[in-house]
Amino acid sequence: MVKVRTKDLIEKFQLEVVCGKDGINRPITTSDISRPGIEMAGYFAYYPAERIQLLGKTEMSFFEQLTPDEKRDRMSRLCTDITPGIIISRDFEVPEELIEAAEREAVPVIRSSMKTTRLSSRLTNYLEGMLAPTTAIHGVLVDIYGVGVLITGKSGVGKSETALELVKRGHRLVADDCVEIRQEDQDTLVGSAPELIQHLLEIRGVGIINVMTLFGAGAVRSYKRITLVVNLELWDQTKQYDRLGLDDEKIKIIDTDITRLTLPVRPGRNLSVLIEVAAMNYRLKRMGINAAEQFSNKLTGVIDDGENEDM
Protein backbone atom coordinates (compact mmCIF):
# COMPACT_ATOMS: atom_id res chain seq x y z
CA MET A 1 0.00 0.00 0.00
CA VAL A 2 1.31 3.44 -0.96
CA LYS A 3 2.02 5.47 2.17
CA VAL A 4 3.02 8.83 0.66
CA ARG A 5 2.20 10.53 -2.60
CA THR A 6 3.47 13.80 -4.06
CA LYS A 7 0.20 15.53 -3.18
CA ASP A 8 0.85 14.74 0.50
CA LEU A 9 4.05 16.81 0.35
CA ILE A 10 2.20 19.62 -1.38
CA GLU A 11 -0.46 19.70 1.35
CA LYS A 12 1.95 19.20 4.24
CA PHE A 13 4.37 21.97 3.28
CA GLN A 14 1.89 24.19 1.38
CA LEU A 15 3.91 24.03 -1.83
CA GLU A 16 2.98 25.75 -5.07
CA VAL A 17 2.30 23.47 -8.04
CA VAL A 18 3.73 25.17 -11.13
CA CYS A 19 2.99 22.45 -13.68
CA GLY A 20 2.54 18.70 -14.10
CA LYS A 21 -0.61 18.52 -11.97
CA ASP A 22 -1.59 15.22 -13.61
CA GLY A 23 1.26 13.52 -11.73
CA ILE A 24 0.57 14.66 -8.15
CA ASN A 25 -0.68 11.16 -7.27
CA ARG A 26 2.70 9.58 -8.00
CA PRO A 27 4.00 7.42 -5.13
CA ILE A 28 7.10 8.33 -3.12
CA THR A 29 8.96 5.17 -2.14
CA THR A 30 12.11 6.51 -0.48
CA SER A 31 12.92 9.20 2.07
CA ASP A 32 16.16 10.12 0.27
CA ILE A 33 16.19 13.50 -1.45
CA SER A 34 18.28 14.00 -4.59
CA ARG A 35 19.99 17.27 -5.52
CA PRO A 36 20.89 16.58 -9.17
CA GLY A 37 23.98 18.71 -9.46
CA ILE A 38 26.13 16.19 -11.34
CA GLU A 39 23.16 15.39 -13.57
CA MET A 40 23.04 19.06 -14.55
CA ALA A 41 26.57 18.54 -15.84
CA GLY A 42 25.31 15.71 -18.05
CA TYR A 43 26.19 12.59 -16.02
CA PHE A 44 23.06 10.41 -15.67
CA ALA A 45 24.65 6.96 -15.24
CA TYR A 46 23.46 6.71 -11.61
CA TYR A 47 20.55 9.13 -11.68
CA PRO A 48 18.14 8.22 -8.80
CA ALA A 49 14.97 8.95 -10.74
CA GLU A 50 12.69 7.46 -8.07
CA ARG A 51 13.59 10.19 -5.56
CA ILE A 52 12.19 13.67 -5.07
CA GLN A 53 14.50 16.02 -7.00
CA LEU A 54 15.41 19.26 -5.24
CA LEU A 55 16.86 22.17 -7.21
CA GLY A 56 18.44 24.96 -5.18
CA LYS A 57 20.60 27.96 -5.81
CA THR A 58 23.65 25.89 -6.82
CA GLU A 59 21.78 23.79 -9.38
CA MET A 60 19.84 26.71 -10.84
CA SER A 61 22.90 28.97 -11.18
CA PHE A 62 24.80 26.19 -12.97
CA PHE A 63 21.81 25.55 -15.22
CA GLU A 64 21.88 29.16 -16.39
CA GLN A 65 25.41 28.62 -17.75
CA LEU A 66 24.29 25.88 -20.14
CA THR A 67 23.52 26.28 -23.83
CA PRO A 68 19.86 26.14 -24.97
CA ASP A 69 20.28 22.58 -26.31
CA GLU A 70 21.94 21.43 -23.09
CA LYS A 71 19.15 22.98 -21.04
CA ARG A 72 16.48 21.08 -22.97
CA ASP A 73 18.48 17.85 -22.76
CA ARG A 74 19.10 18.07 -18.99
CA MET A 75 15.49 18.84 -18.10
CA SER A 76 14.17 16.19 -20.45
CA ARG A 77 16.36 13.56 -18.79
CA LEU A 78 15.45 14.75 -15.28
CA CYS A 79 11.75 14.13 -15.95
CA THR A 80 11.05 10.40 -16.09
CA ASP A 81 7.92 8.31 -15.70
CA ILE A 82 8.91 7.36 -12.13
CA THR A 83 10.09 10.75 -10.84
CA PRO A 84 7.62 11.72 -8.08
CA GLY A 85 8.32 15.44 -8.38
CA ILE A 86 10.84 18.24 -8.86
CA ILE A 87 10.94 20.93 -6.19
CA ILE A 88 12.38 24.41 -6.76
CA SER A 89 13.48 26.18 -3.57
CA ARG A 90 13.81 29.91 -2.73
CA ASP A 91 10.93 30.78 -5.11
CA PHE A 92 13.28 30.69 -8.09
CA GLU A 93 11.72 31.13 -11.49
CA VAL A 94 10.99 27.80 -13.14
CA PRO A 95 12.84 27.42 -16.47
CA GLU A 96 10.68 27.01 -19.58
CA GLU A 97 12.69 23.92 -20.53
CA LEU A 98 11.66 22.25 -17.26
CA ILE A 99 7.99 23.19 -17.70
CA GLU A 100 7.93 21.70 -21.21
CA ALA A 101 9.58 18.43 -20.11
CA ALA A 102 7.44 18.14 -16.98
CA GLU A 103 4.17 18.65 -18.86
CA ARG A 104 5.24 16.07 -21.43
CA GLU A 105 6.00 13.40 -18.78
CA ALA A 106 3.38 14.55 -16.21
CA VAL A 107 6.06 15.20 -13.56
CA PRO A 108 4.88 17.67 -10.89
CA VAL A 109 7.07 20.76 -10.63
CA ILE A 110 6.63 22.36 -7.21
CA ARG A 111 7.98 25.57 -5.75
CA SER A 112 8.79 26.59 -2.17
CA SER A 113 9.97 29.83 -0.58
CA MET A 114 12.16 27.98 1.94
CA LYS A 115 15.95 27.79 1.71
CA THR A 116 17.26 24.62 0.12
CA THR A 117 19.00 23.10 3.17
CA ARG A 118 16.08 23.69 5.51
CA LEU A 119 13.57 22.38 2.98
CA SER A 120 15.65 19.27 2.38
CA SER A 121 15.86 18.59 6.12
CA ARG A 122 12.12 19.01 6.66
CA LEU A 123 11.25 16.84 3.67
CA THR A 124 13.61 14.07 4.82
CA ASN A 125 12.29 14.07 8.39
CA TYR A 126 8.70 13.91 7.18
CA LEU A 127 9.35 11.12 4.68
CA GLU A 128 11.40 9.06 7.14
CA GLY A 129 8.52 9.17 9.61
CA MET A 130 5.91 8.30 7.01
CA LEU A 131 7.92 5.58 5.24
CA ALA A 132 9.35 3.93 8.37
CA PRO A 133 8.77 0.14 8.71
CA THR A 134 5.65 -0.55 10.76
CA THR A 135 3.98 -3.42 12.59
CA ALA A 136 1.16 -3.94 15.08
CA ILE A 137 1.40 -5.89 18.35
CA HIS A 138 -1.33 -7.05 20.73
CA GLY A 139 -0.54 -5.38 24.02
CA VAL A 140 -0.67 -2.20 26.08
CA LEU A 141 1.80 0.70 25.92
CA VAL A 142 2.25 2.92 28.99
CA ASP A 143 4.64 5.78 29.75
CA ILE A 144 6.07 5.02 33.21
CA TYR A 145 8.49 7.63 34.58
CA GLY A 146 9.52 8.45 31.02
CA VAL A 147 10.09 4.78 30.09
CA GLY A 148 7.90 3.42 27.30
CA VAL A 149 6.78 0.03 28.63
CA LEU A 150 5.02 -2.37 26.27
CA ILE A 151 2.96 -4.88 28.28
CA THR A 152 2.29 -8.11 26.42
CA GLY A 153 0.72 -11.45 27.27
CA LYS A 154 -2.13 -13.78 26.35
CA SER A 155 -5.68 -12.48 26.21
CA GLY A 156 -7.26 -12.27 29.67
CA VAL A 157 -3.99 -12.28 31.63
CA GLY A 158 -4.69 -8.78 33.00
CA LYS A 159 -2.87 -6.31 30.74
CA SER A 160 -5.63 -3.70 30.58
CA GLU A 161 -6.40 -3.94 34.30
CA THR A 162 -2.73 -3.43 35.08
CA ALA A 163 -2.62 -0.43 32.74
CA LEU A 164 -5.66 1.06 34.49
CA GLU A 165 -3.93 0.76 37.86
CA LEU A 166 -0.80 2.37 36.42
CA VAL A 167 -2.87 5.29 35.11
CA LYS A 168 -4.42 5.70 38.56
CA ARG A 169 -0.88 5.85 39.97
CA GLY A 170 -0.10 8.84 37.73
CA HIS A 171 1.36 7.24 34.61
CA ARG A 172 0.17 7.81 31.06
CA LEU A 173 -1.62 5.48 28.66
CA VAL A 174 -0.51 5.41 25.04
CA ALA A 175 -2.40 2.46 23.57
CA ASP A 176 -4.50 -0.49 24.67
CA ASP A 177 -5.16 -3.79 22.88
CA CYS A 178 -3.41 -2.85 19.61
CA VAL A 179 -0.10 -0.95 19.53
CA GLU A 180 1.03 0.37 16.17
CA ILE A 181 4.84 0.44 16.08
CA ARG A 182 7.09 2.16 13.58
CA GLN A 183 10.88 1.99 13.40
CA GLU A 184 12.04 5.56 12.98
CA ASP A 185 15.76 4.83 13.22
CA GLN A 186 18.07 1.83 13.41
CA ASP A 187 17.25 1.31 17.10
CA THR A 188 14.22 3.53 17.73
CA LEU A 189 10.71 2.10 18.00
CA VAL A 190 7.78 4.45 18.50
CA GLY A 191 4.38 3.13 19.53
CA SER A 192 0.97 4.75 19.14
CA ALA A 193 -2.70 3.80 19.18
CA PRO A 194 -4.91 3.36 16.13
CA GLU A 195 -7.14 6.42 15.80
CA LEU A 196 -10.29 4.36 16.37
CA ILE A 197 -9.27 3.22 19.88
CA GLN A 198 -7.13 6.18 20.97
CA HIS A 199 -7.40 6.92 24.73
CA LEU A 200 -9.70 3.91 25.26
CA LEU A 201 -9.29 0.98 27.67
CA GLU A 202 -11.31 -2.23 27.59
CA ILE A 203 -11.94 -3.69 31.03
CA ARG A 204 -13.77 -7.01 31.20
CA GLY A 205 -16.94 -6.65 33.27
CA VAL A 206 -16.86 -2.85 33.05
CA GLY A 207 -16.63 -2.26 29.33
CA ILE A 208 -14.83 0.42 27.33
CA ILE A 209 -13.71 3.52 29.22
CA ASN A 210 -12.22 6.78 27.98
CA VAL A 211 -9.08 7.38 30.03
CA MET A 212 -8.74 11.03 29.02
CA THR A 213 -12.34 11.78 30.02
CA LEU A 214 -12.03 9.99 33.35
CA PHE A 215 -8.52 11.00 34.42
CA GLY A 216 -7.77 14.10 32.34
CA ALA A 217 -5.46 15.00 29.47
CA GLY A 218 -2.39 14.34 31.64
CA ALA A 219 -3.25 10.61 31.80
CA VAL A 220 -2.70 9.97 28.08
CA ARG A 221 -0.19 10.69 25.34
CA SER A 222 -0.30 10.16 21.58
CA TYR A 223 2.95 8.24 21.11
CA LYS A 224 5.99 7.03 23.02
CA ARG A 225 9.33 5.43 22.28
CA ILE A 226 9.35 1.77 23.39
CA THR A 227 12.38 0.82 25.49
CA LEU A 228 11.13 -2.05 27.67
CA VAL A 229 8.79 -5.02 27.10
CA VAL A 230 7.11 -6.69 30.08
CA ASN A 231 5.50 -10.04 29.25
CA LEU A 232 2.81 -11.29 31.63
CA GLU A 233 2.22 -15.03 31.87
CA LEU A 234 0.33 -17.29 34.25
CA TRP A 235 2.58 -18.73 36.95
CA ASP A 236 4.10 -22.06 35.91
CA GLN A 237 5.31 -24.15 38.86
CA THR A 238 7.64 -26.12 36.61
CA LYS A 239 9.38 -23.05 35.20
CA GLN A 240 12.44 -21.36 36.69
CA TYR A 241 12.00 -17.59 36.73
CA ASP A 242 14.87 -15.10 36.86
CA ARG A 243 15.51 -14.08 40.48
CA LEU A 244 18.64 -11.94 40.08
CA GLY A 245 18.22 -10.09 36.80
CA LEU A 246 21.82 -10.53 35.63
CA ASP A 247 20.97 -11.66 32.12
CA ASP A 248 18.86 -9.33 29.95
CA GLU A 249 16.45 -11.16 27.69
CA LYS A 250 15.93 -9.54 24.29
CA ILE A 251 13.05 -9.56 21.84
CA LYS A 252 13.31 -8.38 18.23
CA ILE A 253 10.60 -6.03 16.98
CA ILE A 254 11.05 -5.21 13.29
CA ASP A 255 14.87 -4.81 13.26
CA THR A 256 15.39 -3.59 16.82
CA ASP A 257 16.32 -5.58 19.93
CA ILE A 258 14.36 -4.55 23.03
CA THR A 259 14.90 -5.69 26.63
CA ARG A 260 12.12 -8.02 27.79
CA LEU A 261 11.14 -9.07 31.30
CA THR A 262 8.79 -11.94 32.10
CA LEU A 263 6.50 -11.46 35.10
CA PRO A 264 4.57 -14.51 36.36
CA VAL A 265 0.96 -13.74 37.29
CA ARG A 266 -0.59 -15.27 40.40
CA PRO A 267 -3.04 -14.11 43.11
CA GLY A 268 -1.48 -11.64 45.55
CA ARG A 269 1.07 -10.15 43.16
CA ASN A 270 0.65 -6.41 42.55
CA LEU A 271 1.55 -6.26 38.88
CA SER A 272 1.28 -2.50 38.55
CA VAL A 273 3.82 -1.94 41.35
CA LEU A 274 6.13 -4.61 39.91
CA ILE A 275 6.05 -3.04 36.45
CA GLU A 276 6.58 0.41 37.96
CA VAL A 277 9.66 -0.85 39.82
CA ALA A 278 10.88 -2.65 36.69
CA ALA A 279 10.72 0.65 34.78
CA MET A 280 12.63 2.50 37.51
CA ASN A 281 15.22 -0.28 37.69
CA TYR A 282 15.63 -0.12 33.91
CA ARG A 283 16.34 3.61 34.17
CA LEU A 284 18.93 2.98 36.85
CA LYS A 285 20.65 0.38 34.68
CA ARG A 286 20.88 2.87 31.83
CA MET A 287 22.47 5.31 34.28
CA GLY A 288 25.09 2.68 35.16
CA ILE A 289 23.61 1.45 38.45
CA ASN A 290 22.96 -2.29 38.29
CA ALA A 291 21.89 -3.75 41.65
CA ALA A 292 22.17 -7.34 40.43
CA GLU A 293 25.77 -6.86 39.27
CA GLN A 294 26.68 -5.07 42.49
CA PHE A 295 25.27 -7.94 44.53
CA SER A 296 27.05 -10.50 42.36
CA ASN A 297 30.38 -8.67 42.74
CA LYS A 298 29.97 -8.44 46.52
CA LEU A 299 29.09 -12.13 46.72
CA THR A 300 32.13 -13.04 44.64
CA GLY A 301 34.30 -10.91 46.91
CA VAL A 302 32.95 -12.61 50.05
CA ILE A 303 33.57 -16.05 48.55
CA ASP A 304 37.11 -15.10 47.51
CA ASP A 305 37.85 -13.73 51.01
CA GLY A 306 36.58 -16.95 52.60
CA GLU A 307 38.76 -19.09 50.37
CA ASN A 308 41.81 -16.97 51.19
CA GLU A 309 41.20 -17.35 54.94
CA ASP A 310 40.93 -21.15 54.60
CA MET A 311 44.31 -21.20 52.88
Residue 85 marked ligand-binding: no
Is 154 known to sit in a ligand binding site? yes
Set 69, 239, 243, 310: catalytic member: 243
> Do the annotations mark residue 21 as ligand-binding?
no
Q: Euclidean distance between the first and final Cα of the chain, in Å? A: 72
Quick one: which of 117, 123, 19 has its CA closest to 75?
A: 19
171 classed as catalytic: no
138 belongs to the catalytic site: yes
Active-site residue, selected from the candidate residues 74, 159, 171, 182: 159
Tell me whether residue 17 is annotated as binding.
no
Catalytic residue among 3, 138, 168, 204: 138
Active site residue 250: no
* Of 72, 73, 90, 177, catalytic: 177
Does 105 appear as a known binding residue?
no
- 218 marked among binding-site residues: no
Task: Confirm whether residue 155 is marked as ligand binding.
Answer: yes
Residues contributing to the annotated binding site for ATP: 153-160
Q: Which residues are known to be catalytic?
A: 138, 159, 177, 243
**Annotated binding-site positions for Mg(2+):** 160, 202
For the annotated binding site, the residues are 153-160, 202
